[in-house]
Chain A
């Protein structure tokens, strides 16, 4: 009897030991996007969580996503979130910086404490981050103008809608638009129009320009601001061609009704998936990406593929 009990206890201890040796390794990746009330970051969250599940299955690891995004944009809260994640022993952090100046020290401090950091969407270029995954803004401007020229038959008058004139990323996009426009002798750039980056201000700017310059036949919108409101474009569908950056759910209606010809969708889902890939490679395999800038391509969305593309948002956004 004693022998039996001893044998059972020994087997149990053996089993426990074996289980603990075979226990899967846990990685916790913190994700700090700009705000919770923006659908692009909800898509990034879904992407990060899906990728964590996929990598967990592939590598027999336990990868968790710790979503630490402030409800509204607040770089101070982003700094606090990064500091908290480091204190809690996160294996890596992905961040979209609301203010690169304010986040640089927090990122550097995390990296100095052995926690790798990647930026997505919005970079902190002077920090020690492992990599930045985002849009090449000059290339984005090139694509906007190429698509617009195609829609306009390589001739006409183009107005550029450019948001905040001091935003460096938008300036690069405008530069890209102008560079490509030079290749089309029959296309004239009327001007670049700046405005406060709210849907209402942007829609008002478009309306003002259209009233003052009815000769405009094309809009190169380096951001999708006016399209976040209903009924922002007063002209007849197709009479003026429009190409805009971003393809959020609110903008898709303009493609369907013919007001907008092309939306260039940023890889918002991939902001999550690629960030987790980069962090896992560093944390688990100590691998660095080949370059510190990982370019995210833009996907053209038109009337033809809008319904297919819209299904993504059904998957990416949380169920109501």
Chain B
């Protein structure tokens, strides 16, 4: 008999990830300690200025405020912002992984799309106005869409493993970005665009990347869980041959998955352009590994048929919390890659263990049903 308080992870597999995030948050709040920050107050001109206080001798000195090193609005917002670029891409890559594919080119698509958008917006300069900004966003997304479509067309058309195709395009897309920019950083975008992405939604907390991440997660979730095409994505990942025989147009669905992966890299590139204000061919180098790691930690199975948009976002949040936690607790930065690698392997092992437990439970239930059937039957049946 199951207790009503018991979490049923088989019905809500992301529950485990949320528990991990909460536990990590509690640990970082406890062990992170307190920090002292300059106290800021709103000045008469509407801008934040340093607060001052009088010391024992009556002299004015800058005032400070003590906050928890982890659990404060600025740090939490920063984690959300830093996660958003990876999490948005992880949603797209998860869809590809569910089809039993892989997209190693996301980091390069991100760079090429950002460079394309940057070159367009740079023509307009900081006085480019909304027209330049909208055009830049469209160009960025279009470049990303084309990159994703090319990946998909080559994978489906040549029937080559996606690892090979996207390994190749990873180099090609970054190479094109390098040729276009000569290795230089391109900045100078319409100010309206920069202000929009960096605007303080609550106080001076920039929440636009977080809001976009949530939107991408919701859209990705609806696509996978509520739309027929999404169910086909799972079906192909579960058994491609069976899907083909059941009438699913496998090639079309796969092509769509790579296009989505490209577009999500484009969305992340738009945010990066607005937030950081420049793009170069070196952008997003090595990000494909973090993105795939986020998807895997979030429960996507590299064998296909398993994964979710929410899981991808939560997986990316866990990786970012660990990266930030390393800094907060004071572990040298050099160890961050080792810790991330250990977390990814641990997540996969836990996932396999979980699957093994589920399989055993299923076997036990099947055996139990068989036994009941045998007992209920009038004629003796041999159970193998």
In the assembled complex, A73 has its CB within 8 A of some CB on chain B: yes
In the assembled complex, B327 has its CB within 8 A of some CB on chain A: yes
A113–B182 CB distance below 8 A: no
B residues in contact with A307, CB < 8 Å: none
Q: Which of B237-255 contact A (CB under 8 A)?
A: none
A71–B283 CB distance below 8 A: no
A residues in contact with B285, CB < 8 Å: 72, 74
In the assembled complex, B366 has its CB within 8 A of some CB on chain A: no
Partner of B333, one of A36, A101, A115, A164: A36
In the assembled complex, A87 has its CB within 8 A of some CB on chain B: yes
A67–B35 alpha-carbon span in the complex (Å): 17
B residues in contact with A294, CB < 8 Å: none
A86–B67 alpha-carbon span in the complex (Å): 12
In the assembled complex, A140 has its CB within 8 A of some CB on chain B: no
Partner of A166, one of B35, B183, B327, B328: B183
A residues in contact with B21, CB < 8 Å: none
A residues in contact with B356, CB < 8 Å: none
In the assembled complex, B78 has its CB within 8 A of some CB on chain A: yes
B64–A89 CB distance below 8 A: yes
In the assembled complex, B232 has its CB within 8 A of some CB on chain A: no
From residue A86, how far is it (CB to closest CB) to chain B in Å? 8
B36–A101 CB distance below 8 A: no
A residues in contact with B94, CB < 8 Å: none
B72–A87 CB distance below 8 A: yes
A36–B50 CB distance below 8 A: no
Name the CB-closest residue of B to A196. B183
A84–B327 CB distance below 8 A: yes
B276–A79 CB distance below 8 A: yes
Majority DSSP secondary structure for residues of A touching B:
loop
B-contact 0/1 string along A37-75, CB 8 Å cutoff? 000000000000000000000000000000111111111
| Given A99-B278, A102-B278, also A89-B40 (CB < 8 A) | no
Name the CB-closest residue of A to B118. A101
Partner of A84, one of B62, B64, B324, B336: B324
Name the CB-closest residue of B to A164. B183
A67–B282 alpha-carbon span in the complex (Å): 23
A80–B78 CB distance below 8 A: yes
A87–B75 CB distance below 8 A: yes
Partner of B35, one of A36, A88, A99: A88
Partner of A71, one of B48, B327, B337: B337
A69–B74 CB distance below 8 A: no
Report how many residues on chain A are interfacial, defined by Cβ distance under 8 Å.
33
A89–B40 alpha-carbon span in the complex (Å): 12
Count: A-B pairs, CB below 8 Å: 87
B residues in contact with A165, CB < 8 Å: 182
Report how many residues on chain B are interfacial, defined by Cβ distance under 8 Å.
42
A126–B63 alpha-carbon span in the complex (Å): 29
B38–A101 CB distance below 8 A: no
B residues in contact with A113, CB < 8 Å: 38, 40, 48
A residues in contact with B294, CB < 8 Å: none
B40–A99 CB distance below 8 A: no
B-contact 0/1 string along A98-140, CB 8 Å cutoff? 0111101100000011110000000000000000000000000
In the assembled complex, B123 has its CB within 8 A of some CB on chain A: no
A residues in contact with B280, CB < 8 Å: 75, 99
In the assembled complex, A10 has its CB within 8 A of some CB on chain B: no
In the assembled complex, A24 has its CB within 8 A of some CB on chain B: no
From residue A124, how far is it (CB to closest CB) to chain B in Å? 11
Name the CB-closest residue of B to A79. B276
B residues in contact with A68, CB < 8 Å: 327, 333
Name the CB-closest residue of B to A37. B334
Name the CB-closest residue of A to B183. A164
From residue A294, how far is it (CB to closest CB) to chain B in Å? 24
A249–B327 alpha-carbon span in the complex (Å): 30
In the assembled complex, B168 has its CB within 8 A of some CB on chain A: no
In the assembled complex, B354 has its CB within 8 A of some CB on chain A: no
B residues whose Cβ falls under 8 Å from a Cβ of A: 35-38, 40, 47-48, 50, 62, 64, 69, 72, 74-75, 78, 82, 85, 182-188, 198, 272, 276-278, 280, 282-283, 285-286, 324, 327-328, 332-334, 336-337
A residues whose Cβ falls under 8 Å from a Cβ of B: 36, 67-76, 79-80, 83-84, 86-89, 99-102, 104-105, 112-115, 164-167
Please name 9 pairs of A and B residues whose Cβ atoms are closer than 8 Å in the assembled complex, sorted by A.
Answer: A69-B333, A75-B185, A75-B278, A80-B78, A80-B82, A88-B69, A100-B185, A112-B48, A164-B183
